[in-house]
């Protein structure tokens, strides 16, 4: 597939990885890039502003999500990128309100998006990129609630892929490691550039890949958890069907 002549909507497009997704989509000749942000006035000046359409969209606001979906019925690719994080332990860390905010953006935000844009996504060649984190499959020691929110969204993404499979849509899950953005500013370690993550994510979706591990840290996590986990990400229904069949054959005591 190619993005030439196609239309893309990107959430959290005002900075960091979201802004890099805009530039990567423009470089791949998308005809229109809908750059969505809570405050479109804060969007940077992109390399080809004529092809960029600002969209006011707070993923925690159902009315704004519904309005955006109603107005942008021509998109080919939805990139669910907007996210927040929090640091500290579960026990004795931030208060519950902070934890709820993380789930509201990182889980319920993507849920609102895919439900609202669902009719557009049910067509051959359309699809979704879910930008998650290696924290979805390997617990973050510093940000466990962030990990929990991304793990919840991972299951959501797998469910969406299964529901859109017969429609010919492609759902790609991206599991990056540390990215050189404001969100990871406090981590003193090598980081991938946001443009690299955006480019590899788009290239993975265009190639029809189910899962993208877009940087070296992500690749190491992939190697650590083994290929069977990736099989579970790629074919969750088949894996669970096989597991249940084996369980029924062997019984609870093996």
Q: How confident is the model at residue 247 (pLDDT cuts 50, 70, 90)?
A: low
User: Do 42 and 17 form a contact (C-beta atoms < 8 A)?
Assistant: no
Quick one: residue 17, left, alpha or beta (phi over 0 = left, psi -120 to 50 = alpha)?
alpha
Tokens linked to 141:
């020691």
Arithmetic mean of pLDDT, 62-74: 96
Three-class SS of residue 56? Answer: strand
Ranking 111-125, 141-155, 221-235 by mean pLDDT, the lowest is 221-235
Three-class SS of residue 79? Answer: strand
Q: pTM (2 decimals)?
A: 0.90
Domains of the chain from N-terminus onward: 7-227 (3.40.50.720)
Work out the end-to-end distance of the chain between its first and last CA atoms, rounded to an integer number of angstroms. 45
Residue 242: pLDDT over 80: no
The pLDDT, as a whole number, for residue 240 is 61
Residue 207: pLDDT over 90: yes
Positions of E strands within 49-195: 52-56, 77-80, 127-131, 170-174
Tokens 């443009």, residue?
195
Residue 199: pLDDT over 90: yes
Ranking 41-55, 78-92, 172-186 by mean pLDDT, the lowest is 172-186
Q: How confident is the model at residue 252 (pLDDT cuts 50, 70, 90)?
A: low
Q: How confident is the model at residue 141 (pLDDT cuts 50, 70, 90)?
A: confident
Residue 63: pLDDT over 70: yes
Q: How far apart are CA 117 and CA 121, in angstroms?
A: 6
The pLDDT, as a whole number, for residue 182 is 72
Q: How confident is the model at residue 226 (pLDDT cuts 50, 70, 90)?
A: confident
Quick one: residue 253, left, alpha or beta (phi over 0 = left, psi -120 to 50 = alpha)?
alpha
Query: Order of strands, edge to edge, in the sheet holding 52-56?
Result: 52-56, 32-37, 7-10, 77-80, 127-131, 170-174, 211-212
Quick one: residue 107, left, alpha or beta (phi over 0 = left, psi -120 to 50 = alpha)?
alpha
Tokens linked to 92:
């004795």
Q: How confident is the model at residue 243 (pLDDT cuts 50, 70, 90)?
A: low
Q: What are phi and psi of 28, to 5 degrees?
A: -95, 15
The pLDDT, as a whole number, for residue 131 is 98
């Amino acid at each position: 597939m190619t993005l030439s002549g196609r239309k893309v909507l990107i959430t959290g497009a005002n900075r960091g990885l979201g802004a890099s997704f805009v530039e990567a989509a423009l470089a791949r000749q998308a005809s229109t890039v809908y750059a969505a942000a809570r405050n479109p006035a804060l969007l940077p000046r992109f390399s080809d502003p004529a092809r960029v359409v600002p969209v006011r969209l707070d993923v925690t606001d159902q009315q704004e999500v519904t309005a955006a979906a109603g107005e942008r019925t021509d998109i080919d690719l939805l990139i669910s990128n907007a996210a927040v994080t929090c640091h500290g332990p579960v026990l004795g860390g931030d208060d519950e309100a902070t934890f709820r905010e993380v789930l509201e953006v990182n889980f319920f935000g993507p849920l609102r998006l895919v439900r609202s844009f669902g009719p557009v996504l049910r067509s051959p060649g359309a699809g979704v990129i879910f930008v998650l984190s290696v924290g979805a499959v390997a617990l973050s020691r510093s940000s466990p609630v962030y990990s929990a929110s991304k793990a919840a969204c991972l299951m959501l993404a797998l469910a969406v892929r299964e529901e859109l499979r017969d429609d010919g849509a492609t759902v790609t899950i991206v599991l990056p490691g540390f990215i050189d953005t404001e969100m990871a500013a406090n981590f003193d370690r090598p980081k991938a550039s946001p443009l690299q993550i955006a480019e590899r994510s788009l290239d993975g979706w265009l190639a029809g890949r189910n899962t993208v591990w877009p940087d070296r840290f992500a690749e190491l996590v992939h190697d650590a958890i083994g290929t069977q986990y990736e099989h579970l990400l790629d074919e969750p229904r088949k894996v669970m069907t096989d597991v249940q069949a084996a369980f029924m054959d062997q019984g609870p005591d093996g």
